[in-house]
Amino acid sequence: MLSEFKEYVTKIEYLNSAMAVLSWDAMVNTPSKGKAYRGEILGFLSGEYYKLITDDKVKVFIDYFNNESNLDDITNAMVKKIEKSYNEIKKIPEDFYIQYTVDASISSAAWEEAKNANDFSIFKPHLEKMVDYKKKFVDYLSFEENKYDTLLDMYEPGITVKKLDEVFSEVRDAIVMLLKKIETSDVSIQTDFFTKYFSKNDQEEFSKFILSKLEYDFISRGRIDESEHPFTTDFGKDDVRITTHYYENDFRSAMFGCIHEGGHAIYEQDISKDLMGTGLAEGTSMGIHESQSRFYENILGRSKEFWSYFYPEAQKKFPQFESITLDQFYKAINKVEPSLIRIEADELTYSLHVIIRYELEKMLINDELKVEDLPTAWNKKYKDYLGVEPSSDADGVLQDMHWSDGSFGYFPSYALGNLYGAQMVKIMEKDIPNLYTQISQGNFSDIHNWLKENVHKHGAVYKPAELIKKITGEELKSEYFINYLNKKYSEIYNLV
Amino acid sequence: MLSEFKEYVTKIEYLNSAMAVLSWDAMVNTPSKGKAYRGEILGFLSGEYYKLITDDKVKVFIDYFNNESNLDDITNAMVKKIEKSYNEIKKIPEDFYIQYTVDASISSAAWEEAKNANDFSIFKPHLEKMVDYKKKFVDYLSFEENKYDTLLDMYEPGITVKKLDEVFSEVRDAIVMLLKKIETSDVSIQTDFFTKYFSKNDQEEFSKFILSKLEYDFISRGRIDESEHPFTTDFGKDDVRITTHYYENDFRSAMFGCIHEGGHAIYEQDISKDLMGTGLAEGTSMGIHESQSRFYENILGRSKEFWSYFYPEAQKKFPQFESITLDQFYKAINKVEPSLIRIEADELTYSLHVIIRYELEKMLINDELKVEDLPTAWNKKYKDYLGVEPSSDADGVLQDMHWSDGSFGYFPSYALGNLYGAQMVKIMEKDIPNLYTQISQGNFSDIHNWLKENVHKHGAVYKPAELIKKITGEELKSEYFINYLNKKYSEIYNLV
């Protein structure tokens, strides 16, 4: 029965991989007029996916294995994962789901129009619809403590509002306090050298140099392409691709973007081959995925040790940095500047952008905030936490596309990744005593191996909460991330 | 019923397009270690295709429409096409087909090994197997006059050995005679300037310049990439892609390769939108497809008028041609040199390479030649027709991969394309009186439009024989191609 079940799940994986190839190609290669037909093909394949996952056979498999005792961890996780998908899809009426998909696509288009026109009123009726849809999703799927928990569970299985309220409020307060201190600091940081001209070709070569040191195999098991928005995707563990977007007037964007996506890609490349055909050969949650990308991008990639190895190489490649010292460079990539746009935020303020969205969408789903009052609530939170206020909705509530297609519950992953990462690093430091020396020598093998053994190879066998407990012996806590931020920024800004 | 039928056929098209995207990506982008899994996904999708095409529903559609009278051309062709696929697949036992697919892949690998080792004995047992498989295919599908007809019909619906024997023997004799005359010519043609250094970038820009003049839309409805072997593929009529392979020490390869693939691509881009969902939105046969690619590559692309427009541009771009006159250049791209390798052959001798393969595979399928005697027979025909003899099987019978996976019946398309093309041009000359002036002015719109209206837009609505009759009022004949060759090469070589 297990081999039959695996054979069935393998088909689902094949279909998923086929859709991933078509989507990657749509984003990287498809000519403008070919996109409509590509959408039709993807729609057809999604329908086939729906049929496979809701087939009566799936129910037979689930019932059979739920009556078996002594399942091993992997088989157990495999059954639970399929059961969750099956139940979710079965509980949602097909007509409702199709109508939602159609409306989500209309809503996304309206959002784009609204953003370009800087006019929230264009988006408002669509956003109201999306909030309603998601509340109905919760009704269909049911909830225990908080309606929003059901939505969170789609991206971060097992996480709850109760837990997030606790850790996010601690993080929020700590960052806000740190920001106030930084305001009083007399350290001034120069960043103008980042916006000189950096040729695409040079950026590409240097990014590849770093990524190969970090052990992302983009030669025989992956590739790097260009797309409007950077992303990572995979079709089997031996074909994991990242994309980037080069800006020739900014050194930072593609560089840190590549390291970030590289973190996602290394995770996928490291997943155990044995998990193919189980539905578990993927990252266990968006939050754990972000913990890997943000570990590479920030904890490693914005550390002094990292650049004490790479900066001399950067200076060789880029004469633009000739007169800039390592210390200046290090401070420049970590300059704190409260700002309006999430995707341009520095490492410190980034989490605040995410927490604001978390707080707002939680209120929307629980009828504590109306869509019409959203722009005002948005602006107030930016003022309160970051001390800045959008002068237009395009720079405020309209900046991200997530809400336009109803992806409520997704944003927290970005901040959770920071927390998971910092908590893991405390254990990594114990297991690799000369961790920081290794980084400063450009030796990332032990780190990579640690992540592979503790996180990556397990794929989705363990839920995020189980995984973090297994690795650190503790539940998710905010203190490690807060301590990390305090230490790092106190040094940079000479805080007492 | 028709809309239900179209909906069903649309699904088959979606699946075909999905497979085409995955195959294109496998050839252009997939990293080495990702290829095995890609093969698995494609295998799964082929299985889904098999299920769709052999479903009982298809039989219901076929029976229904076969009982309807007064079907329009398109619906009629649509039903006939599906019926053909359905019957073919239903007649071949599934186990037999799967075993054939497996053995074909083993045989291809053996062929590659044999070619590299220059040792026919490695390939021999596999080729024997492939010949046997194809004879069994014929048994399952049945035949009327000649076993080989059944195989021809897979690539060139309706063509027969009887017809090919007639036209190919005429073409063969005419070329052989022309070659003998050329041997006595005192015209000597210099070609060494083609093998100077031509940067990939320059070649790419110049190829794109030509292709855009020829009206292949590779911006909004297609793209040009690189792959080991050039090919054309499409996913819907608005995403038609070609590939090429640049050699920096040869100007000709990528240039004429691009024009050739461009011909295929223009065909696909021009197919009427109304044919989507009918299974007919594709070229009607391999031979007609080759007629378009070879028309663009040879009849246009190796004509004096074509280069009287493009050569001044080529000289601007490539100082390598500075001291070479248009006449020298024109003769150089048309230099006749009997040689051993089909894909490197000049326009004149090319058809002979194909006819040799036709004659040999016809004998193999009809038990008139044993595989063990194939190398000797091959070498004898090269000696007889071309006056050259391979010193090794790698340069002889092992050079092409087609036989290794059992693609008997495919080769004739290449030569048929030449015949169809020359026959069409006689009508085009009447319809566009200033045809050659237009070419020499770099104006290809009337030509393109003529092909679109007469050939391209019809997709697979008409079988090749119907189409050529519809366009030219005559059956396929060899005389137009023979006259074209005689005229062209008599001028170039000053023959009397």
SS3 track for chain B: CHHHHHHHHHHHHHHHHHHHHHHHHHHHCCCHHHHHHHHHHHHHHHHHHHHHHHCHHHHHHHHHHHCCCCCCHHHHHHHHHHHHHHHHHHHCCHHHHHHHHHHHHHHHHHHHHHHHHCCHHHHHHHHHHHHHHHHHHHHHHCCCCCHHHHHHHHHCCCCCHHHHHHHHHHHHHHHHHHHHHHHHCCCCCCCHHHHCCCCHHHHHHHHHHHHHHCCCCCCCCEEEEECCCCCEEECCCCCEEEEECCCCCCCHHHHHHHHHHHHHHHHHHHCCHHHCCCCCCCCCCHHHHHHHHHHHHHHHCCCHHHHHHHHHHHHHHCHHHCCCCHHHHHHHCCCCCCCCCHHHCCHHHHHHHHHHHHHHHHHHHCCCCCHHHHHHHHHHHHHHHHCCCCCCHHHCCCCCCHHHHCCCCCCHHHHHHHHHHHHHHHHHHHHCCCHHHHHHCCCCHHHHHHHHHHCHHHCCCCCHHHHHHHHHCCCCCCHHHHHHHHHHHHHHCCCC
- Nearest CA distance, B391 vs chain A (angstrom): 37
CB contact under 8 A, A41 and B223: no
What count of Cα atoms within 13 Å lies in the side-chain half-sphere of residue B359? 19
A-chain residues near B25 (CB < 8 A): 21, 25
C-beta separation of A27 from A227 below 8 A? yes
d(CA B360, CA B369): 8
Which one is catalytic: B13, B156, B261, B297? B261
Q: Which long-range contacts (CB under 8 A, 24 or more apart) does A166-170 make?
A: A166/A478, A167/A419, A167/A476, A167/A477, A167/A478, A168/A355, A168/A358, A168/A359, A168/A412, A168/A415, A168/A478, A170/A478, A170/A479, A170/A482
**If pLDDT is split at 50, 70 and 90, which confidence band does B88 have?**
confident
Asked if the structure places residue A307 within a domain, the reply is yes
pLDDT of residue A438: 98
Q: Nearest CA to CA, how far is B417 from chain A (Å)?
A: 29
Q: How many beta-carbon pairs below 8 A join chains A and B?
A: 97
Q: What is the pLDDT of residue B89?
A: 87
Among A210, A238, A211, CA closest to A222: A238
> What are A151's two structure tokens?
């939505």
B402 has binding-site annotation = no
Q: What is the pLDDT of residue A415?
A: 97
CB contact under 8 A, B33 and A238: yes
Q: Where are the alpha helices (DSSP H) in A232-325?
A: 252-270, 286-294, 304-317
Residues of B in contact with A236 (CB under 8 A): 34, 37-38, 41
Rounded distance between C-alpha atoms, residue B126 and residue B111, angstroms = 8
The catalytic residue among A261, A297, A347, A359 is: A261
DSSP 8-state secondary structure symbol assigned to residue A475: -
Q: Alpha-carbon distance B8 to B267, whole Å? A: 25
Report whether B178 contacts B486 (CB < 8 A).
Answer: yes
- Domain boundary at B130, B146, B162, which? B146
Report helix, strand or coil for A244. Answer: strand
On whether the CB atoms of residues A459 and A276 are closer than 8 A, the answer is no
Distances (CA, A) of B171 to A407, B161, B176, B354, B371: 66, 15, 9, 11, 26
Is residue A95's pLDDT more than 90? no
Q: Report chain A residues whose CB lies below 8 A from the CB of B18.
A: 18, 22, 41, 44-45
Q: Tell whether A36 and A144 lie within a shared domain.
A: no
Mean pLDDT value across residues A312-325: 97
CATH number at residue A273: 1.10.1370.30
User: Do residue A143 and residue A79 come from a single domain?
Assistant: no
Mutate to test the interface with A, among B32, B41, B45 (most CBs of A within 10 A): B41
Tell whether A99 is covered by a domain.
Answer: no
The angle at the Cα of B264, spanning B259 to B268, to the nearest 5 degrees, equals: 135
Which chain B residue is nearest to residue A222, measuring alpha carbons?
Answer: B31
Comparing A87-96, A175-184, B212-221, B239-248, the range with the smallest average pLDDT is: A87-96
Chain A residue numbers touching B32 (CB-CB < 8 A): 220
Which of the residues A9, A13, A21 would you substitute to probe the B interface, choosing the one with the greatest number of B C-beta atoms within 10 Å? Answer: A21
The nearest CA of chain B is from the CA of A223 a distance in Å of 7
- On the question of pLDDT at A105 being above 90, the answer is no
In chain A, which residues have their Cβ closer than 8 Å to the Cβ of B239?
30-31, 33-34, 37-38
pLDDT band, residue A97 (cuts 50/70/90): confident
Same domain, B438 and B485: yes
Q: Any idea what the Cα angle at residue B366 is, between residues B360 and B368, rounded to 5°?
A: 65
Residue A478 lies in a domain: yes
How many CA atoms does the CB half-sphere of A136 hold within 13 Å? 13
Give the pairing of strands B232-234 and B240-244.
antiparallel
Question: Measured between beta carbons, which residues in chain A are less than 8 angstroms from residue B219?
Answer: 31
Q: What is the pLDDT at residue A228?
A: 87
In a domain, A249, yes or no: yes
Q: What is the pLDDT of residue A89?
A: 87
Residues B92, B58, single domain; the answer is yes
pLDDT in tens, A340-387: 999 999 999 999 999 999 999 999 999 999 999 999 999 999 999 999
pLDDT of residue A117: 96
Number of Cβ atoms within 10 Å of the Cβ of A464: 24
Chain A residues with at least one Cβ partner in B under 8 Å: 11, 14-15, 17-18, 21-22, 25, 29-34, 36-38, 40-41, 44-45, 48, 218-223, 235-236, 238-239
* Residue with the two structure tokens 């520095």: A346
Q: Quick check: is A444 in a domain?
A: yes
| pLDDT for A150 | 96
Please report which helix (H) or strand (E) contains residue A162, including its range.
helix A161-184
- pLDDT for A367: 97
Looking at B127, B146, B165, the residue that finishes a domain is B146
Looking at residue B426, its pLDDT comes to 97
Angle between helices A412-431 and A445-454 (to 10 degrees): 120
**Residue the block writes with tokens 């996109």:** A35
Report the distance separating Cα A150 and Cα A240, nearest Å. Answer: 30
Q: Are B239 and A31 an interchain contact pair (Cβ–Cβ within 8 Å)? A: yes
For residues B290 and A452, give the distance between their C-alpha atoms in angstroms, rounded to a whole number.
52
- Over residues B407-436, the pLDDT tens digits come to 999 999 999 999 999 999 999 999 999 999
The answer to whether the CB of A478 falls within 8 A of the CB of A167 is yes
Residue B237 sits in the same domain as residue B316: yes
CA distance A171 to A177: 10
Is A432 within the bounds of a domain? yes
Averaged pLDDT, A388-414 = 95
Tell me what pLDDT residue B367 has. Answer: 97
pLDDT at A101: 86
pLDDT of residue B486: 98
Residue of B nearest to A37 (CA): B236
Distance from CA of A431 to the nearest CA of B (A): 32
Q: Compute the distance between CA of residue B396 and CA of residue B383 in angstroms, rounded to an integer.
A: 11
What does the pLDDT look like over B20-41, one tens digit per residue?
A: 999 999 999 999 999 999 999 9
Residue A110 lies in a domain: no
Say if residue B219 is in the same domain as residue B336. Answer: yes
Cα angle value B386/B296/B496 (rounded, 5°): 45
pLDDT reported for residue B105: 87
Nearest CA-CA distance, residue A85 and chain B, Å: 22
Tell me the percentage of chain B whose pLDDT exceeds 90.
94
Q: A69 pLDDT band (50/70/90 cuts)? A: confident
- The β-bridge relationship of strands B222-226 and B240-244 is parallel
Give yes or no: residues A71 and A169 share one domain: no
Confidence bin at B376 (pLDDT 50/70/90): very high
State the Cα torsion A462-A463-A464-A470 to the nearest 10°: -40
Distance from CA of A26 to the nearest CA of B (A): 10
Do A331 and A400 have their domain in common? yes
Q: For residue B346, which amino acid is it?
A: D
Contact B187, B224 (CB under 8 A): no
pLDDT per position as a tens digit, A410-440: 999 999 999 999 999 999 999 999 999 999 9
CB count in 10 Å sphere of residue A154: 17
Same domain, B139 and B244: no
Question: What does the alpha-carbon distance between residue B8 and residue B52 come to, in Å, rounded to a whole number?
Answer: 8
Domain that holds residue B342: 147-496
HSE-CB of A274 using CA atoms within 13 angstroms:
8
Residues of B near A (Cβ–Cβ under 8 Å) read: 11, 14-15, 17-18, 21-22, 25, 29-34, 36-38, 40-41, 44-45, 48, 218-223, 235-236, 238-239
- The number of distinct structural domains making up chain B is 2
pLDDT at B94: 84
Do A59 and A125 have their domain in common?
Answer: no
pLDDT of residue B71: 92
How far is Cα B67 from Cα B438, in angstroms, rounded to an integer? 49
Could you give the angle at the alpha carbon of A136 between the alpha carbons of A133 and A138, nearest 5°? Answer: 115
pLDDT score, position B201: 97
Model pLDDT, residue B102: 86
- The reply to whether A113 falls in a domain is no
pLDDT tens-digit readout, B108-153: 999 999 999 999 999 999 999 999 999 999 999 999 999 999 999 9
Residue of A nearest to B14 (CA): A41
Instruction: Say what the pLDDT of residue B410 is.
Output: 96
Chain length of chain A? 496
Q: Which of B146, B172, B193 is the last residue of a domain?
A: B146
Q: What is the pLDDT of residues A248-267, one digit of tens each?
A: 999 999 999 999 999 999 99
Q: Inter-chain contact A33–B238, Cβ cutoff 8 Å?
A: yes
- Verify whether residue B261 is a known catalytic residue: yes
Same domain, A24 and A126: no
**Minimal-distance CA residue of chain B relative to A225:** B29
B336: left (phi over 0), alpha (psi -120 to 50) or beta: beta
Asked if A55 and A164 sit in the same domain, the reply is no
In this model, does residue B101 exceed pLDDT 90? Answer: no
Confidence band for B496, pLDDT divided at 50, 70 and 90: confident
Supply the DSSP string of A183-243, one letter for each residue.
HH-------GGGGS---HHHHHHHHHHHHHHTT---SSSEEEEE-SS--EEESSTT-EEEE
Chain B residues closer than 8 Å to A38 by CB: 235-236, 239
A333-337 contacts: CB < 8 A, separation 24 or more? A333/A252, A333/A256, A333/A302, A333/A307, A334/A302, A334/A488, A334/A489, A334/A492, A335/A189, A335/A191, A336/A179, A336/A182, A336/A489, A336/A493
Residue A471 pLDDT grade (very low, low, confident, very high; cuts 50, 70, 90)? very high
CB contact under 8 A, B239 and A38: yes
% chain B with pLDDT above 70: 100
- CB atoms A44 and B238 under 8 Å: no
CA distance B424 to chain A (A): 31
Residue B8: the pLDDT is 97
Annotated binding site of A for Zn(2+): 260, 264, 290
CA–CA distance, A198 with A54 (Å, rounded to integer): 51
How many Cβ atoms sit within 10 Å of the Cβ of residue A442? Answer: 15
- Model confidence at B391: pLDDT above 90: yes
Per-residue pLDDT at B121: 97
CB < 8 Å to B14, chain A: 40-41, 44-45
- What is the pLDDT of chain A when averaged over all its residues? 96
Per residue in B266-296, pLDDT tens? 999 999 999 999 999 999 999 999 999 999 9
* Residue B90: Cβ within 10 Å count: 14
| Minimum CA–CA partner of A32 in chain B | B220
Task: Read off the pLDDT of each residue in B381-392 and give the average, rounded to a whole number.
Answer: 96
